[in-house]
Amino acid sequence: MRKSLKVLAAVAVAGLLLPAPKAHAVSKEIIQLQVQVQALQNAVQHLQQTDAEQMGAIQNIVQQTSNTVIQMNQTISALQNQLQAQQQSGGGAIQQVSTQIQSLNDSVDELRTRIEKLSHQMDQVESQLQNVQQPAAAPGSGASPDGQAAGQGQAAPGTDSGNATPQPQAAMQQPAFPPIKQLYQVALSDYEGGRYKLAASEFGDVVKDYPLDELSGSAQFYIGESNYRLHKYHDAIKAYENVLQNFAGNSKAPASRLHKAYAELALGERESGVHDLKALIARYPQTPEASQARVRLHGLGISSRRHSSASRGM
């Protein structure tokens, strides 16, 4: 009996002297965190390299497009001088030159819109570079990818932290938006149904969620139309101006210029309204909107004859 008690006592003392197995589990978690941090650092390095390449390509495209715009502006100026000379001499090719000018202006507007989109993309790439260049946790620092210290990010009961796989790109996922065509059609339906306040808000969502899409230019136009029908002429003018500045190549640009003039005239801003009507005729001489502008100018008792400087900068 005494011998058995001695054996049990010896076994108990030996058990107390043995190292706790928990230390091995903690060490395993630290190794896993280090592997995850290293994977994140590799992902950041890859993103930096990719963004740098994209930035260089975009800058090259912007420079080429800018050079093309300069050349086309020079061609437009030469055609305008030719048109002015033919007007003074009574030449018979005025219609042809006018059509050429409008075509070139359309091309310039499309290029300007492209430059705006590329510039926006450059801003996005620069912002992404700034985000990925923020210091990442170094291996062995005891910080986990989600910002928790090792030992504070214990795996939940019933889970095996050793089976977790690093997901370095999870934090870079963008929020999902409804398809732009779906948003646009819903807004257009409300506009056509006379729900102008609701439509203006919905078209605003289109522009906010998809600022570079071509439909955003049309959405801006309908924001102006909705506000115009609500007699909110100042807001309408801002929306039309947004189309002219940021979506100059959009098919709604001529109507935006015409309706901007109408809104200005409705506010009693006769000088601004007349200026926009003449600018519309100079910039889009062959469009139905230009014909409407001529009729409106005639009703105001003003000649719609082209001025040589009217089409510059439109």
pLDDT (tens digit per residue) in 11-55:
555 555 555 555 555 677 788 787 888 888 777 777 777 766 666
Instruction: Say if residue 200's pLDDT is above 50.
Output: yes
Tokens encoding 283: 């910039």
pLDDT at residue 264, rounded to an integer? 97
Euclidean distance between CA atoms 198 and 218, whole angstroms: 16
Confidence of residue 260 (pLDDT cuts 50, 70, 90): very high
> How would you class 227 by CB atoms within 10 Å of its CB: exposed for 0-12, middle for 13-18, buried for 19 or more?
buried
Question: Taking residues 207-227, what's their average pLDDT?
Answer: 93
CB of 283 closer than 8 Å to CB of 257: yes
Centre a 10 Å sphere on the Cβ of residue 100 and count the other Cβ atoms it contains: 16
pLDDT (tens digit per residue) in 184-198:
999 999 999 999 999
CA distances to 99, 116, 173 from 176, rounded to whole Å, are 44, 24, 9
Percent of the chain with pLDDT over 70: 50
Euclidean distance between CA atoms 265 and 263, whole angstroms: 5
CATH class label, 180-299 = mainly alpha
Confidence of residue 215 (pLDDT cuts 50, 70, 90): very high
* Residue with tokens 């306040």, as numbered in its chain: 197
pTM, full prediction: 0.49
pLDDT at residue 214, rounded to an integer? 87
Q: 43-49: long-range contacts at Cβ-Cβ below 8 A with a sequence spacing of 24 or more? A: 43/168, 43/169, 44/132, 44/133, 44/136, 44/168, 47/128, 47/132, 47/172, 48/129, 48/132, 48/133
Instruction: Say if residue 240's pLDDT is above 80.
Output: yes
CB of 243 closer than 8 Å to CB of 250: yes
pLDDT at residue 241, rounded to an integer? 96
Of the listed ranges 62-71, 129-138, 297-306, the one predicted with least confidence? 129-138
Q: Which residues pair with 149 in a beta bridge?
A: 143
Instruction: Say if residue 211's pLDDT is above 70.
Output: yes
Stronger pLDDT, 284 or 167, i.e. the higher one = 284
Stronger pLDDT, 106 or 138, i.e. the higher one = 106
Question: Taking residues 66-87, what's their average pLDDT?
Answer: 68
Question: Taking residues 230-241, what's their average pLDDT?
Answer: 97
Of the listed ranges 73-77, 245-249, 274-278, the one predicted with least confidence? 73-77
Stronger pLDDT, 29 or 93, i.e. the higher one = 29
Tokens encoding 103: 């075509």
pLDDT (tens digit per residue) in 130-163:
665 555 444 444 444 344 444 444 444 444 444 4
pLDDT at residue 314, rounded to an integer? 44
Stronger pLDDT, 262 or 106, i.e. the higher one = 262
Single out the residue of 145, 148, 152 nearest to residue 34, CA to CA. 145
Of the listed ranges 6-10, 57-61, 103-107, the one predicted with least confidence? 6-10
Euclidean distance between CA atoms 225 and 171, whole angstroms: 40
Domain ranges of the chain: 2-144, 180-299
pLDDT at residue 151, rounded to an integer? 42
Instruction: Say if residue 177's pLDDT is above 90.
Output: no
Element (H, E) at 298: helix 288-299
* Residue with tokens 């940021």, as numbered in its chain: 246
pLDDT at residue 165, rounded to an integer? 46
